[in-house]
Structure 1
């Protein structure tokens, strides 16, 4: 009886194989759904708050540290047209991120075992929430502190009026850097789950990771102390969160046969 049960577990995905062309068609459909989701998100954002409204929102941190009445400037001839569209597209991707992650899940789900499906979707959604948290941290904390620090070094004879194009590129790089850095718990949990490293090894590596965090922050952020600390310190904290979550994650995402084997004397 036990042998037949083990055989059923081993053959859970037996007979579900599809031709290569079928995989390509499924991939095409998922990419189309992603495009549809991005189009809907872009249309909603174009209706409200609109490209100009999005520019006003992301410009709040730097304008708070500019002289009264000062505005960002557009040096390029086409910057007033292309920069708002770039911001609109970037925001549409962020708004549609859960939908995009869901399409990735739907593409890979047929090839996963039942115990893998239990943790794959929550992991994807948790990663999306961490990305949102990283971007929100940049928008509502890092930019304000960073520009306040930089403006202190501006000579009185200099009128700081940044170009909107360079400003958008700078904050976009920060969004990407913090969004990726906030995925540290996901990486730690997966490393432990696939037995590439143990929790004890991660704990012993803690000191090296702190140094690595500051090196990564120095490379990815502008050359100011505030933004570097704002990236390195959360990475260290999230590393600890990942170590704590990894133990729970491994326990509840184990295959049934693994739990059965461990329970046997």
Structure 2
């Protein structure tokens, strides 16, 4: 007795769902293990993240907790985010392993360097934010307070603020990857993107204006790297464009 056609069609989908569940479970386990390993250092991690602001506060000043559970929840949430942050390479590897069987050979050769580059760029953006942007931001904020106003930042509000900046700069540093993929997929060409360079530069400074204090130095610290990273994407886009022409048809690997 032959197997019904619809059953043959459903089996691959079921297998994919089972594999997806397995990889998601592995990702969750890794995040939980990292979190448990870091939890005992949660207060130290928060102190490290708060250092760019604490170092600029007047002598005797300190951060405050305006909610009952904030002294526990703020370090707890930060530790969980740090665990996720550390696990990013493993998470992306699981995503890669899931989709890799359906990719062409040349796509695999290209996708892995893109994946590795995106991880490095994201971490670079976060490091740039902590060591370069935060000191400038907090120096501006702490010196801009009116006379008679003492700066006493809530720990939960501070955490929310810096996490947004971490992810904003991390994503901003992905510009070369985004530019490269636009060219690679044919959504844009090097010539088209190059012709829009003035608008890109203006857009970078607008983003810098929205994410940093209203001074030229801070805005430039975000806008100029974004523009340079865009140019990096254009350079690699030119190289890929020249290499794509003679590629033979391939079928996905089994």
Q: TM-score range by the shorter chain?
A: 0.7 to 0.9
Q: Structure 1 pair 173/21, CA: closer, same or farther in 2 (3 Å)? A: same
Q: Structure 1 pair 91/21, CA: closer, same or farther in 2 (3 Å)? A: same
- Among candidates 110, 132, 135, match of residue 123 of structure 2: 132
1:93-112 equivalence runs, <5 A = 93-112=84-103
Greater Cα offset, 98-107 or 192-201 = 192-201
* Corresponding residue number in structure 2 for 1:37: 30
1:71-220 equivalence runs, <5 A = 71-219=62-210
* Structure 2 residues not aligned, in runs of 5+: 1-9, 250-254
The list of structure 1 runs, each at least 4 consecutive aligned residues, that deviate by more than 6 angstroms after superposition, is none
* Corresponding residue number in structure 1 for 2:252: none
Q: Structure 1 pair 37/157, CA: closer, same or farther in 2 (3 Å)? A: same
* Structure 1 residues not aligned, in runs of 5+: 1-16, 259-265
Q: Deviations over 1:125-148 (max 9, x none)?
A: 110111000000111110101111
Partner SS state of residue 155, structure 1: coil
- Among candidates 14, 27, 32, match of residue 20 of structure 2: 27
Contact kept in structure 2, 1:115 and 1:254, CA below 8 Å: no
- Among candidates 221, 225, 229, match of residue 234 of structure 1: 225
Q: Structure 1 pair 42/31, CA: closer, same or farther in 2 (3 Å)? A: same
* Corresponding residue number in structure 1 for 2:214: 224
Q: Distance in 2 between matches of 1:132 and 1:250?
A: 28
RMSD between superposed Cα atoms in Å = 1.9
The offset of 1:233, in angstroms, is 1.9
The offset of 1:201, in angstroms, is 1.3
Partner SS state of residue 59, structure 1: helix
Contact kept in structure 1, 2:23 and 2:94, CA below 8 Å: yes
Contact kept in structure 2, 1:146 and 1:224, CA below 8 Å: no
Q: Distance in 1 between matches of 2:214 and 2:23?
A: 41
Q: Structure 1 pair 23/254, CA: closer, same or farther in 2 (3 Å)? A: farther
Q: Deviations over 1:39-60 (max 9, x none)?
A: 122122224xx11001110011
Q: Distance in 2 between matches of 1:27 and 1:52?
A: 35
Contact kept in structure 2, 1:45 and 1:92, CA below 8 Å: yes
